[in-house]
Structure 1
Amino acid sequence: MADYHYREGKGADAAAPLFVVFHGTGGDEHQFFDLASELLPGARIIAPRGDVSEGGALRYFRRTGEGVYDMDDLAMRTAQMIAFVETRRAESTPRQIIGLGYSNGANILASVQFAAPALFDATVLMHPLIPFAPPKADFSGKQVLITAGQRDPMAPAAMTQGLSDYFAGNGAKTSLFWHQGGHELRPEELRETQAFLGGLVAPRG
């Protein structure tokens, strides 16, 4: 089992949402940590560092080329990440488990969802690329926001739309937000993400 190096926020209430954030290729556990605290104040933030090096750039799983994944490695590391998140969940009593990932981080997060549909209550997948057909799963009661660039050279729009259709077709409440750029994160998608997350933590009746 992978023992991921990770950064954790301190001082959250035991029942606070567990917010797991995943960096992009070349990032690390610090890439979205401060942003996460702004997006979801009061949450317990966990940011694992990818343990695969691609020419010195950290990732969460291996690939053999741009958009060509080592599927055996992905399966192994997906199982390791599920175990990691389950271990962090057992350390407190979070009322929700929420994930956010960008690029490679979105891909490992989506892969975790495919393999363990019940684990995350809600996820934000920023510029994901899933170049394979995910398995049928039950995402009833789950919420998914996908953000993407209409001119993203790394994540074709048709594949992004296909992933959105997959989640919606398997029961998730799914939103897809486009900006007019490429693979970069833009302020408007961060605003969309903040609105999505803010809606999740509204008091329950």
Structure 2
Amino acid sequence: MKHFFHKSKETNEVFVLLHGTGGRETDLLPVAGRIDPALSVLGIRGDVGENGQYRYFKRQPDGSMDEESLKEKTKPLLDFLFEAAITHQFEQKEIHLIGYSNGANMAVSLLLHKPEFFRSAMLLHPSHPLKSFDTAELNDLDIFITAGAKDQLVLPGEAVQLKKHLRHLGARVSLHMTDYGHELRNSEFTQAAKWWSENIKTV
């Protein structure tokens, strides 16, 4: 998979960045820098093409989520993360996911399929994928979700339902709602940094 890796000299913990539709592996690098510049960063480019844009899984012809494609593409990404951990010398539970939109939905699938591999996740404007997936144990996971009250691509109720779903599976979940749409806003990064400082950061 197309990716980049920046190794930290301060900690073995790592942010894994999953961009939105049409993005690149470096898109969320400024976000990671705002949250905690001490961590290593692994940015991964989606390998599904859609009209010249990169995604992590396919959409249905009507634009709705293709959950079969999401599940199908989850395993090779997990395999890649396992290999990357060996190559770049980081461990399970040292991975913190940051995903936006399509990348946030893939992050949800990663968490549900392999929760023991991750320590936390920041899900920026996710939908509520894999609603019927009710077997994962997320007891050690901290999750921060953002959504836009005026989002016309992903209804804000999706984030609310996702929060309930993840809490039902044992995760500690916080939700920040903006007054805007699907675009990322500065207030989201401010709140994410605050959440990180209060719940995750140890140094």
Same-fold call, TM cutoff 0.5:
yes
Tell me what 2:55 maps to. Answer: 59
TM-superposed CA distance for 1:140, in Å, is 0.5
- State the distance in 1 between where 2:108 and 2:63 align: 15
2:2 is aligned with 1:5: yes
Equivalent residue in structure 1 for 2:77, among 74, 78, 81:
81
Aligned residues: 199
- TM-score with structure 1 setting the length: 0.90
The structure-2 alpha-carbon separation of the partners of 1:67 and 1:193, relative to structure 1 and needing over 3 Å to count, comes to farther
The one-character-per-residue Cα deviations of 1:39-73 (angstroms, maximum 9, x if unpaired) are: 22121100000111111111000011455223332
The structure-2 alpha-carbon separation of the partners of 1:19 and 1:145, relative to structure 1 and needing over 3 Å to count, comes to same
Q: Amino acid of the residue matched to residue 122 of structure 2?
A: V
Tell me what 1:70 maps to. Answer: 66
Q: Amino acid of the residue matched to residue 202 of structure 2?
A: A
SS of corresponding position for 1:34: helix
- TM-score with structure 2 setting the length: 0.91
2:44 is aligned with 1:48: yes
TM-superposed CA distance for 1:36, in Å, is 1.4
Contact 1:30 / 1:47 at 8 angstroms: preserved in 2? yes
TM-superposed CA distance for 1:134, in Å, is 4.0
Structure 1 residue runs without a partner (length 5+): none
Q: Amino acid of the residue matched to residue 109 of structure 1?
A: A
Q: Percent identity?
A: 29
What aligned pairs does 1:1-205 form with structure 2 within 5 A after superposition? Answer: 4-10=1-7, 12-13=8-9, 15-65=11-61, 68-90=64-86, 91-94=88-91, 96-136=94-134, 137-199=136-198, 200-203=200-203
The one-character-per-residue Cα deviations of 1:103-156 (angstroms, maximum 9, x if unpaired) are: 001011111111112121100000001254141211102100000001111111
CA-based RMSD of the aligned residues comes to 1.7
- State the distance in 2 between where 1:189 and 1:38 align: 11
- State the distance in 1 between where 2:63 and 2:148 align: 16
